[in-house]
């Protein structure tokens, strides 16, 4: 009975064990404990007290920023490479984390966000009747993701002593920067659109301006590509690690990089991203069904006639 609740934790626990068996043993312990403490205080306790999981929007990105801080302070690789990857994680985490804190301060987390309301539908289909337990497991998954898969690019790069940046690292960081800006622009365009509609007293309008004209979720797509940029950037450091660990662990770390991309895609499209958001958008916005027919859901593309 309890297996259906706890089985989703297994891949993330396995990923953490791989890191523990790798040359990053100490850092994996430090990061793991830091992530669990962060989530216990910022997410798990508020979730238990309020019955809402929306606090994940604060805990997860601040955990990403925490990875950046840990790699900056406790690793001994090339200072330039370490600073670059740490800055990338700090920018990703703090941008979203500070926005979420602002939302909480303004009272927007006093109601469960739709993407977390949607989880209850999944639990019902899976036969999970203990909602309190299901919520705690769900939020812990986010913390364990930060303790395992999402930390791999940072750990690999920050441990690499090579003082020359590989062309793949330059390409990956350029890719990261481009899509980080794209995500920021997409969020700003939607915020400006919402403000303009409120000023005109127009309700339930569909944002189809700017980047939103070519993708129904350009911010989610850009977030996925941000992580793909970090993964590409870490590939040379992964190859450099071959002589420092067993072949099995080395292959496992490479598989974790691939899985990280898959994990973020699944999350941003199906888990807490596009699909849950659109389930409610179709119900609330009369023109959203037409928008779905004309515009790609995730990958940007031309408007369909």
Distance CA 165, CA 65 (A): 23
Domain ranges of the chain: 3-294
Q: Under the phi-then-psi rule, with left for phi > 0, alpha for psi from -120 to 50, and beta for the rest, what region is 127?
A: left
pLDDT digits (tens, 9 = 90+) for 214-229: 999 999 999 999 999 9
pLDDT digits (tens, 9 = 90+) for 45-85: 999 999 999 999 999 999 999 999 999 999 989 999 999 99
Q: Which residue has 């068996």 as its token pair?
A: 21
For the chain, 305 residues long, give each residue's pLDDT as a single digit of tens. 778 899 999 999 999 999 999 999 999 999 999 999 999 999 999 999 999 999 999 999 999 999 999 999 999 899 999 999 999 999 999 999 999 999 999 998 889 999 999 999 999 998 999 999 999 999 999 999 999 999 999 999 999 999 999 999 999 999 999 999 999 999 999 999 999 999 999 999 999 999 999 999 999 999 999 999 999 999 999 999 999 999 999 999 999 999 999 999 999 999 999 999 999 999 999 999 999 999 999 999 999 87
């Amino acid at each position: 009975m309890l297996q259906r609740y706890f089985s989703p934790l297994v891949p993330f626990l396995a990923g953490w064990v791989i890191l523990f068996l790798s040359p990053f043993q100490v850092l994996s312990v430090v990061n793991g404990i830091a992530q669990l403490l962060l989530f216990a205080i910022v997410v798990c306790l508020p979730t238990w007290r309020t019955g809402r999981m929306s606090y994940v929007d604060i805990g997860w990105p601040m955990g990403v920023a925490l990875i950046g801080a840990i790699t900056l302070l406790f690793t001994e690789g090339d200072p330039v490479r370490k600073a670059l990857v740490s800055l990338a994680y700090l920018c990703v985490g703090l941008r979203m984390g500070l926005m979420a804190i602002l939302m909480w301060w303004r009272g927007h987390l006093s109601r469960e966000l739709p993407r977390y309301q949607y989880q209850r539908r999944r639990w019902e289909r899976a036969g999970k009747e203990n909602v309190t337990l299901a919520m705690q497991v769900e939020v812990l998954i986010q913390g364990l993701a930060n303790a395992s898969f999402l930390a791999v690019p940072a750990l690999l790069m920050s441990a690499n002593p090579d003082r020359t940046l590989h062309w793949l690292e330059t390409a990956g960081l350029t890719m990261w920067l481009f899509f980080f800006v794209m995500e920021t622009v997409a969020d700003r365009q939607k915020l400006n659109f919402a403000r303009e509609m409120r000023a005109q007293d127009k309700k339930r309008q569909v944002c189809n301006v700017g980047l939103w004209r070519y993708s129904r979720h350009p911010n989610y797509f850009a977030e996925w590509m941000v992580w793909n940029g970090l993964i590409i950037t870490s590939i040379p450091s992964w190859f450099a690690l071959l002589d420092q660990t067993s072949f099995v662990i080395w292959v496992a770390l490479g598989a974790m990089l691939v899985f990280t991309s898959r994990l973020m895609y699944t999350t941003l499209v199906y888990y807490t991203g596009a699909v849950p958001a659109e389930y409610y958008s179709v119900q609330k916005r009369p023109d959203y069904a037409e928008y779905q027919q004309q515009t790609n859901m995730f990958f940007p593309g031309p408007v369909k006639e």
